[in-house]
């Protein structure tokens, strides 16, 4: 079967994309994942917040203000240079598309980082935007507009494809994706994984929750991918969250995703999971007589009248009715 996938100027040999994670922080590991069958790799995100935290932890009292400013600039530049080295070294050993991933919290830094990473040889840049808003005086639509302005600013300084990775904190992602498409986004990822949160009820403290996916996120990814791909069929969508096996891989493509970003299963099963999931996709296409990706993509999205209403039904009406009938 022909698994070739295209989006935003990039050509992938298959729709399996290794998501940004610690596994993609080493060129040798990236080569291993390419050999296992990955279609593209998103390098581990560089976080401006982490860089500034390192700067803040330095003992700068003896340095004075001017000395501290110099050292903080050097520290930031060192981190950026190291990331550029990761891009260059990975490109030397890998032939598949290599995507840089950026997460900043100040407006100007996004463009600085993006320009450097393009110059280092990245094939595309993923803007790893992850924010929630809890301000009492928040104006509706401000968060969406921030995404649009961010894309516009980065597009002004780079020419390689820009991928926007969205969080869950939107009532309706369809108009936002439409706006991002009109502003030149090459693709949109649905969705970014929020840092898991948990409480220790004995120590009365906040702690991290389970970081790896168990597949529970897949339902919402399928829902919004199916809705968005039906309304915006020309916009490439990358599904992320809950894609933990070959069946889930097939499902997100049937929902209308162009490709899937996969992470957790690689920690649990190793890079051989890539080979297995790509093989399962190929086997499914053989069984269902699909010769290429376009013949399967979106076959179960919300454009199909017989199922379209189910994607917007959020109550358990049919389940409750069935349970009631069984009790009677």
The range of the structural domain enclosing residue 268 comes to 5-327
pLDDT tens-digit readout, 99-108? 999 987 666 7
Q: Does the pLDDT of residue 65 top 80, yes or no?
A: no
Rounded to an integer, what distance in angstroms lies between the CA atom of residue 228 and that of residue 174? Answer: 5
**What's the CA gap between 20 and 101, in Å, rounded?**
7
Q: Which residue has the higher pLDDT, 305 or 235?
A: 235
- Tally of structural domains, the chain: 1
Residues 6+ apart with CB under 8 A from 226: 255, 256, 300, 301, 302, 311
The rounded distance, in Å, linking the Cα atoms of 79 and 22 is: 15
Domain with residue 91: its CATH number is 3.20.20.70
| Residue 99 half-sphere exposure toward CB, CA atoms < 13 A | 31
| Residue range 94-120: mean pLDDT, rounded | 90
Q: With CA atoms as reference, report the closest residue to 287 among 258, 246, 237, 256.
A: 246
Task: Write the pLDDT tens digit of every residue in 201-228.
Answer: 999 999 988 889 889 999 999 999 999 9
Winning range, highest mean pLDDT, from 128-137, 181-190, 304-313: 181-190
Among 49-53, 90-94, 114-118, where is mean pLDDT lowest? Answer: 49-53
pTM of this prediction exceeds 0.85: yes
By three-state DSSP, how is residue 206 classified? strand
283 neighbors 325 (Cβ within 8 angstroms): no
* Whether pLDDT at 317 is above 60: no
8 Å CB contact between 96 and 34:
yes
Provide the token pair at 134.
Answer: 């809890």
Give Cα separations from 61 to 51, 58, 64, 66, 76 (angstroms): 19, 9, 6, 11, 19
């Amino acid at each position: 079967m022909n698994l070739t996938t295209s989006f935003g100027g990039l050509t992938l040999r298959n729709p399996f994309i290794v998501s940004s994670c610690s596994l993609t922080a080493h060129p040798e590991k990236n080569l291993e994942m390419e050999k296992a069958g990955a279609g593209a790799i998103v390098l581990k995100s560089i976080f401006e917040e982490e860089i500034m935290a390192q700067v803040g932890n330095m003992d700068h009292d003896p340095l004075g203000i001017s000395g501290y400013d110099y050292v903080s600039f050097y520290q930031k530049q060192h981190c950026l240079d190291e990331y550029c080295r990761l891009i260059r070294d990975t490109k030397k050993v890998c032939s598949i598309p290599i995507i840089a991933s950026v997460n900043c919290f100040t407006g100007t830094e996004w463009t600085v980082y993006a320009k450097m990473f393009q110059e280092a040889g990245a094939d595309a840049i993923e803007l790893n935007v992850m924010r929630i808003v809890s301000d009492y005086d928040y104006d509706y639509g401000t968060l969406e507009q921030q995404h649009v302005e961010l894309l516009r600013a980065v597009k002004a300084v780079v020419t390689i494809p820009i991928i926007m990775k969205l969080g869950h904190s939107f009532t309706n992602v369809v108009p936002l994706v439409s706006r991002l498409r009109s502003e030149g986004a090459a693709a949109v990822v649905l969705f970014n994984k929020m840092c898991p949160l948990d409480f220790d009820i004995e120590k009365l403290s906040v702690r991290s929750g389970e970081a790896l996916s168990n597949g529970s996120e897949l339902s919402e990814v399928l829902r919004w991918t199916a809705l968005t791909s039906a309304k915006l069929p020309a916009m490439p969508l990358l599904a992320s969250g809950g894609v933990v096996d070959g069946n889930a891989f097939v499902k997100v493509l049937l929902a209308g995703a162009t490709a899937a970003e996969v992470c957790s299963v690689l920690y649990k099963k190793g890079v051989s999971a890539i080979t297995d999931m790509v093989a399962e996709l190929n086997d499914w296409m053989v069984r269902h007589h699909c010769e290429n990706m376009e013949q399967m993509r979106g076959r179960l999205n919300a454009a199909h009248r017989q199922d379209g209403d189910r994607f917007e039904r959020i109550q358990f009406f049919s389940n409750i009715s069935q349970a009631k009938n069984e009790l009677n």
